Amino acid sequence: MSGGAETELNDPAADRRRRLRHLAPAALIFVAAMTVLMATDNLYGFTYDEPIYTAKSGAVVEWLSLLSLRPADALSPRALAIYWHGKDQHPGCYKLLTALCASTIGRLGSPASQFRAGTNLLCALCLAAVYLFIAGLWGRAAGAYGVGALLCMPRVFAHCHLTALDAPIMATSFITVIAVWQACVVKDDGSARASRRAWLWAVAAGALWGMALGTKLNSVVIPLIVLPWVFVFARRRLWRLLVSFAVVGPLVFFITWPWLWDDTWSRLGAYIMFHWQHWQISVMYFGRVYTVAPWHYPLVMTAITLPPVTLVLALVGGMRVAQVWRVQRSPGQADARAAAMALVLLGLVMNLVPNCLPSTPKYGGVRLFLPIFPYIAVLAAVGLRAVLDWVVVDKLRGHGDKGRLGKQVTALVVALALAGPIKALGRFVPYHLSYYNCFIGGLPGATRAGMEPTYWGESYRYAASWLIPNARPGSTVWVEPQGYESTFRLFELGQRRPDLLFSTGLEGFETADYAVTQNKATEFTIITHRLVAERRPVYSDGIDGVPIIYVFDLKQGP
């Protein structure tokens, strides 16, 4: 990196004091976020994928117990194949974290928190990282707003609870990028102590990338974000980070996935080929069913599922970035804020563009490109900072008590910017995965436009809540789609109605008393098409008049 940027990024004493001043609020944000997320884990039913992850993490819990009692047996190839097998093709770090949290902090929350606490933990750490990054550059008000903006994105809020890979890769990816930023801004004056600190941050960044690799395969884009940025803005730190990413990252990935400890290369190849040849999942997009949605699906879904104020402020932040770069013109003259903006934009683009490629799977709302949202929250915070500068600095110029009034106006602006997202979060409880904003007319407008009202099965918990007190004794409950019947029976009804029987498919429908399905047209069979068209449900629930879950009594007339 050229001299000007290097000098700005390594502003020593002031940067350290600023970071220390923000640690206490960041710790408070972590604790508050962890408390809120664990307290609301039980809002959401178990999605289609969660039983796979909970079962694998449960096996890891058993393996850890065996490791503590009989290490030799636990480390044998047979035990590794039994407890860590890779047929699900999900790497080990997130399984390990989920298992450890299930055995510790997961016991402090609701029953759903046992295996969701790992996701809660990573997302709470991500929120703390969002605050530290923003507050150190744009102030505490912007930092607090950035945290609120990310947490109050309804779809992101829901994903922060689920035992799946999407929110964890969002968290680990962003935290890794912020660790690289920290590795570049930490002072290195050539002394042995400073060199150790620089190496420590570089190793931490590499280890965090290893954790991201051990969470989900799309973490391979992280070096494409950070290494070009380091080459431009902090070239003296590049070789340390290259070594760390080349050695520490793969090592952490390998250590946290014991399945790879035996027959390593064959199993690693099978893991990569599994994702290269992943099966396609259909999606309804503007009234048409696609096996692979058009390239613009991620862009449109982002625009219509973010709270409007957040989206507008993010656009303002993007314009502020363009304004800064027009003034500074070259990376060599960039200050810390400009360098940070470049990192944010690169993170956003490199997480978004691969999801827009024609052959990339696109389904499940925003979940496959969830890592873009912390960067959007940062841009929104930059946009808010621009608004605050205009209101507090420009409009209050010359006011006698500018300091006190400025704080009051700042608090008011932050509160107003979060009011809409908080309201949306409250209105869509517990169906946050069905949130659409006013740009498409809310959920009713999105449904009329041919978008999916729901997709992942979390709503079945509320069908179960109706069946528990209302289903006739000994009834048979037919569940669609096929394959979800066991999850509905084991996780949602459990022991509360042991008299109920369950069925699925065409043959199972013939003898059923009740039918349960969510409002997802791409999963409908001839049976469910006819049920929805011809029968009145005995129970349905949804938002703004749009049904999300149905229960039909098949022994009653239409």
Average pLDDT rounded to a whole number, residues 43-67: 92
**Model confidence pLDDT, tens digit, residues 215-265:** 998 999 999 999 999 999 999 899 999 999 999 999 999 999 999 998 889
The per-residue pLDDT for 6 is 44
User: Is residue 382 situated within a structural domain?
Assistant: no
The per-residue pLDDT for 159 is 98
Note whether 153 and 266 are same-domain residues: yes
The CB-side HSE value for 537 (13 A sphere, CA atoms) comes to 21
In the chain, what percentage of residues exceed pLDDT 70?
Answer: 90
- Total domains in the chain come to 2
**Host domain of residue 35:** 3-377
Note whether 207 and 329 are same-domain residues: yes
Average pLDDT rounded to a whole number, residues 183-207: 85
Note whether 56 and 162 are same-domain residues: yes
Structure tokens that stand for 235 in this block? 């070239």
**484 Cβ contact list (under 8 Å, min separation 6):** 48, 457, 460, 504
Note whether 466 and 325 are same-domain residues: no
3-state SS record for 58-85: HHHHHHHHHHHHCHHHHCCHHHHHHHHC
- Work out the mean pLDDT of the chain and round it to a whole number: 90
For residue 273, count CB atoms less than 10 angstroms from its CB and return exposed for 0-12, middle for 13-18, buried for 19 or more.
Answer: exposed
User: Is residue 412 situated within a structural domain?
Assistant: no
Angle at 483 between CA 478 and CA 488, to 5 degrees: 60
**Model confidence pLDDT, tens digit, residues 430-465:** 999 999 999 999 999 999 999 999 999 999 999 999
Q: What pLDDT band is residue 196 in, cutting at 50, 70 and 90?
A: confident
The per-residue pLDDT for 214 is 95
Note whether 208 and 307 are same-domain residues: yes
Q: Is the pLDDT of residue 307 over 60?
A: yes
Alpha-carbon radius of gyration of the chain = 25
User: Is residue 455 situated within a structural domain?
Assistant: no
Average pLDDT rounded to a whole number, residues 503-526: 94
User: Is residue 332 situated within a structural domain?
Assistant: yes
The per-residue pLDDT for 74 is 93
Q: What pLDDT band is residue 182 in, cutting at 50, 70 and 90?
A: very high
The per-residue pLDDT for 421 is 98
pTM of the model: 0.93
The per-residue pLDDT for 490 is 85
Among candidate residues 468, 455, 520, 531, the one with its CA nearest the CA of residue 494? 468
Domain boundary among the residues 323, 354, 377 is at 377
The per-residue pLDDT for 328 is 61
Sign of CA dihedral 103, 105, 108, 113: negative
Note whether 226 and 340 are same-domain residues: yes
State the distance between the two ends of the chain, measured CA to CA, in whole angstroms: 72
Domain boundary among the residues 377, 402, 437 is at 377
Structure tokens that stand for 409 in this block? 């106006």
Q: What pLDDT band is residue 318 in, cutting at 50, 70 and 90?
A: very high
User: Is residue 393 situated within a structural domain?
Assistant: no
Q: Is the pLDDT of residue 17 over 70?
A: no
The per-residue pLDDT for 2 is 37
Note whether 145 and 19 are same-domain residues: yes
Note whether 350 and 464 are same-domain residues: no
Average pLDDT rounded to a whole number, residues 396-408: 66
The per-residue pLDDT for 21 is 79
The per-residue pLDDT for 322 is 77
The per-residue pLDDT for 8 is 43
The per-residue pLDDT for 3 is 37
Question: 57 or 11: which carries more pLDDT confidence?
Answer: 57
User: Is residue 148 situated within a structural domain?
Assistant: yes
Contact criterion met (CB below 8 Å) for 514 and 552: yes
Q: What pLDDT band is residue 4 in, cutting at 50, 70 and 90?
A: very low
Q: Is the pLDDT of residue 15 over 80?
A: no
User: Is residue 419 situated within a structural domain?
Assistant: no
Q: Is the pLDDT of residue 12 over 80?
A: no
Contact criterion met (CB below 8 Å) for 425 and 432: yes
Q: Is the pLDDT of residue 7 over 50?
A: no
Q: Is the pLDDT of residue 290 over 90?
A: yes
The per-residue pLDDT for 22 is 82
Q: What pLDDT band is residue 88 in, cutting at 50, 70 and 90?
A: low
Q: What pLDDT band is residue 1 in, cutting at 50, 70 and 90?
A: very low
Q: What pLDDT band is residue 403 in, cutting at 50, 70 and 90?
A: low
Note whether 371 and 472 are same-domain residues: no
Domain boundary among the residues 332, 361, 377 is at 377
Q: Using CA atoms of 258, 259, 261, 266 in order, give the dihedral in degrees to the nearest 10.
A: -160
Average pLDDT rounded to a whole number, residues 372-393: 92
User: Is residue 471 situated within a structural domain?
Assistant: yes
